[in-house]
Amino acid sequence: MSVTFEPGLLRAYFVAGSQDVPGRDLRDVLATMLRAGITAFQFRDKGGSQLTAAERLELGRDLRQQCQAANVPFIVDDDVDLALALNADGVHVGQSDERIQQVLAATNSRQMFVGLSCSTPAEVAAANQIDGIAYLGSGPIYPTVSKDDADPVIGTAGLQALVAQAKVPIVAIGGITAESLPAIAQTGAAGVAIITLLTHNDQPERAVKAMLAAF
């Protein structure tokens, strides 16, 4: 059974693939994060990932089952075919990924929600004209090491402007630390999407608790 989208799911949004947890099993990492209270998980296996397509599918199935058991939405980054194969709750695409209209058409029959990366007023204005987008991912708010092709940093002032402009909720991404959570929350963003703060943390439970407290 799919999880229906609502803005609260963006509060503590964990993003990761095998490349983000070298030497560890992403299944174990996700289990820890689910116990900690994350509100959404995005499977983003790309970049430095060494997995074959078959291995990625197998891992995705296991992660999807973990999320389903915890009633937490399972979202696939970029790959619509993989999202459909895994019966994901949602798919997230960037400006340079498959055209958003094609993604919406492909996922409509599965009742799969769609997120779109938007980092400029022009991109948000374009997204506002498209029906069916559930949320926007905006950033990087601060410099990030998790994405080689990251857009220019927009800061909290830039984020606040995008939140005011957007017709749908925005989740903030990029370079976010526990200390920056209050400032991000003040922009009106619905939550934060996190990789490093959780994967490079001896106490991820404390970080998730801080996200939930902020939003």
Catalytic residues, which ones? Answer: 44, 117, 147
The answer to whether residues 140 and 107 touch, using CB atoms and an 8 Å cutoff, is no
What tokens does 207 get? 């970080």
Residues 6+ apart with CB under 8 A from 42: 13, 14, 15, 16, 75, 76, 77, 92, 193
Q: Which helix (H) or strand (E) holds 43?
A: strand 40-43
Burial of 85 from C-beta contacts in 10 A (0-12 / 13-18 / 19+): middle
- Best CA proximity match to 57, nearest among 36, 37, 84: 84
